[in-house]
Structure 1
Amino acid sequence: MGKISGFLKAVVSEMRKVSWPKRKELTRYTIVVLTTVVFMAIFFGVTDLGISTFMEWYLAL
């Protein structure tokens, strides 16, 4: 039990040292991440569609 309580005390101590982002920063970071995810999903979706279409055309020859 002593090891667990010591670990939890250390975690609490370290969490107090963390510099948490302000609301404005957090909102900006969230928008950047979501925009990046949407862009990458569209990019890979279009790439997959292009490769699939090409392979269907190539195999139909």
Structure 2
Amino acid sequence: MLGKTYLTKQASLLVKFAKTTSDSELSAKLMSKAADLKSQADPMPGGDHSLRAPDVDPDNGTGTA
């Protein structure tokens, strides 16, 4: 599964490209794809949700042993 940051960045690039083209049909397609990517990213939680080993102290990232 792709991450929220990646999808948001890709959507932003598509919007940027859509604004620079003079082809209105291409621009509309790029904007549509950007909206699709943004809608995929919106329900995703933000932040780092990576898993930590059970013996890692969350305060300083070191082992508790």
> TM-score under structure 1 normalisation?
0.35
Q: Which has the higher contact order (CA 8 A, sep 6+)?
A: 2
| Bigger Rg over Cα | 1
Q: Which structure shows the bigger proportion of residues in helix conformation?
A: 1
> TM-score under structure 2 normalisation?
0.33
